[in-house]
Amino acid sequence: MVSVSGEPLQRLGAYMLEGLVARLASSGSLIYKSLRCKEVKQPASAELLSYMRLLYDVCPFFKFGYMSANGAIAEAVKDEYRIHIIDFQIAQGSQWITLIQALASRPGGPPCLRITGVDDSQSTHARGGGLDMVGRMLAKFAESHNVPFEFHAAAMSGSDVQLSNLAVRRGEAIVVNFPFVLHHMPDESVSTENHRDRLLRLVKSLSPKVVTLVEQESNTNTAPFLTRFIETLDYYKAMFESIDVTLPRDDKERINVEQHCLARDVVNIIACEGADRVERHELLGKWKSRFLMAGFTPFPLSSVVNATIKTLMEKYSKFYTLEERDGALYLGWMNRKLVSSCAWR
């Protein structure tokens, strides 16, 4: 009934089964770590990067997130000439390419741009190198577009970030970006420190021009096991179906993409508890209450950007849906919302 090269539910079933076996054997955190660390089972960094790029190409989730966030950022800093972006998951740095292009074409000349990139060891392995690689790539790109640029590296997990790591300077317009990352921070159900709310309060104290949030629209944080199992099945079934329309079932690359970019998360949600469970998604309603509690107010997303995203979606399957509601954007597959994007100030 399960097969990594079968139909979407059979493929997802293979990884759900792996999660159940790991849960029974209490080896969930071990499997998750082995899927995250280069010592065991992990593909070489060049391979992993190619899988991530393929996922980026075949599914619009990341492009949707980056475009909607960049639209809000461009709007918030349109009159600023010294901009400092603090990116809590800089990964390959690819989100900032289009923003640098947009800043370069500003009437009156481009502003000075500084980016602080926060990152963990998982992304370091995926890149095959540290944050200096990202800094060099972005600096080179900015230079080719005549945008004055500086890069500051904060090589650590987002949970460990303190004010002193952010190199904030007086007179800069601050932008904070949370792309698919805040759900990795332990909250009050895991840690007395509650890093989700601590980080939001820290960010609020910087008086940012805008804070962007892109997250999976799923409820697996505090849900009891059975509820979480059903939610994971429902959510990832939609994701596996969306990949199915793009890549053939016997495509080895597709199997690798699902195994190394998605299965790891599925196993973690099913097999792990407590601090070992780092994939802890929340619905946008819950994120909203956290932002409001930290003192933020909603920042409306630009209708121009929304129209651009609609155009982008036309290049993908007709089963993808885009919905704008209560100042947020939702990307879905058929009747299942998968990713939400919103902005705050």
Starting from the edge strand earliest in sequence, which strands make up the sheet with 336-344, in order? 149-155, 112-119, 82-87, 173-179, 210-216, 336-344, 328-333, 320-325
Examine the domain organization and report whether 166 and 188 are in the same domain.
yes
The answer to whether residue 47 sits within a structural domain is no
Examine the domain organization and report whether 322 and 269 are in the same domain.
no
Q: Summarize the confidence of residues 332-344 as an average pLDDT.
A: 97
Examine the domain organization and report whether 102 and 145 are in the same domain.
yes
- pTM for the full predicted model: 0.93
Q: Residue 175: is its pLDDT beyond 80? A: yes
The answer to whether residue 164 sits within a structural domain is yes
Domain with 18 in it: 8-42+225-233+252-276
- Number of structural domains in the chain: 2
The sign of the torsion formed by the CA atoms of 70, 71, 77, 78 equals positive
| Structural tokens at position 271 | 């097999």
Query: What percent of the chain clears pLDDT 90, i.e. is strictly above it?
Result: 73
Q: Residue 220: is its pLDDT beyond 50? A: yes
Highest mean pLDDT among 52-56, 115-119, 311-315 belongs to: 115-119
Q: Residue 115: is its pLDDT beyond 80? A: yes
Q: Summarize the confidence of residues 243-272 as an average pLDDT.
A: 90
Examine the domain organization and report whether 166 and 81 are in the same domain.
yes
3-state secondary structure the chain: CCCCCCCHHHHHHHHHHHHHHHHHCCCHHHHHHHHHCCCCCCCCHHHHHHHHHHHHHHCCHHHHHHHHHHHHHHHHCCCCCEEEEEECCCCCCCHHHHHHHHHHCCCCCCCEEEEEEEECHHHHHHHCCCHHHHHHHHHHHHHHCCCCEEEEEEECCHHHCCHHHCCCCCCCEEEEEEECCHHHCCCCCCCCCCHHHHHHHHHHHCCCCEEEEEEECCCCCCCCHHHHHHHHHHHHHHHHHHHHCCCCCCCHHHHHHHHHHHHHHHHHHHHCCHHHCCCCCCCHHHHHHHHHHCCCCECCCCHHHHHHHHHHHCCCCCCEEEEEECCEEEEEECCEEEEEEEEEC
Q: Residue 122: is its pLDDT beyond 80? A: no
Examine the domain organization and report whether 17 and 85 are in the same domain.
no
Q: How far apart (Å, rounded) are the C-alpha atoms in residues 226 and 13?
A: 15
Examine the domain organization and report whether 110 and 175 are in the same domain.
yes
pLDDT tens across 35-92, in order? Answer: 543 333 567 778 888 888 999 999 999 999 999 999 999 999 999 999 999 999 999 9
The answer to whether residue 72 sits within a structural domain is yes
Q: How far apart (Å, rounded) are the C-alpha atoms in residues 165 and 187?
A: 21
Examine the domain organization and report whether 72 and 14 are in the same domain.
no
Q: How far apart (Å, rounded) are the C-alpha atoms in residues 82 and 110?
A: 10
Q: What pLDDT shows up at residue 36?
A: 46
Examine the domain organization and report whether 325 and 261 are in the same domain.
no
239 contacts 338 by C-beta, under 8 angstroms: yes
Residues paired with residue 154 on neighbouring β-strands, in sequence order: 118
Q: What pLDDT shows up at residue 39?
A: 34
| Structural tokens at position 327 | 């100042």
Examine the domain organization and report whether 103 and 19 are in the same domain.
no
Q: Summarize the confidence of residues 291-302 as an average pLDDT.
A: 95
The answer to whether residue 238 sits within a structural domain is no
Examine the domain organization and report whether 150 and 287 are in the same domain.
yes
Burial label for 181, CB within 10 Å (0-12, 13-18, 19+), is buried
Q: Summarize the confidence of residues 214-222 as an average pLDDT.
A: 97
Q: What pLDDT shows up at residue 27?
A: 62
Q: What pLDDT shows up at residue 38?
A: 36
The sign of the torsion formed by the CA atoms of 258, 264, 266, 271 equals positive
Examine the domain organization and report whether 99 and 155 are in the same domain.
yes
Q: What pLDDT shows up at residue 61?
A: 94
The answer to whether residue 239 sits within a structural domain is no
Q: What pLDDT shows up at residue 120?
A: 78
Q: What pLDDT shows up at residue 47?
A: 85
The answer to whether residue 241 sits within a structural domain is no
- With cut-offs at 50, 70 and 90, classify the pLDDT of residue 121: low
Comparing 15-29, 47-61, 212-226, 288-302, the range with the smallest average pLDDT is 15-29
Q: Residue 195: is its pLDDT beyond 70? A: yes
The answer to whether residue 56 sits within a structural domain is no
Average pLDDT of every residue of the chain: 91
Q: What pLDDT shows up at residue 130?
A: 84
Q: How far apart (Å, rounded) are the C-alpha atoms in residues 123 and 236?
A: 22
Examine the domain organization and report whether 28 and 82 are in the same domain.
no
Q: Summarize the confidence of residues 132-160 as an average pLDDT.
A: 96
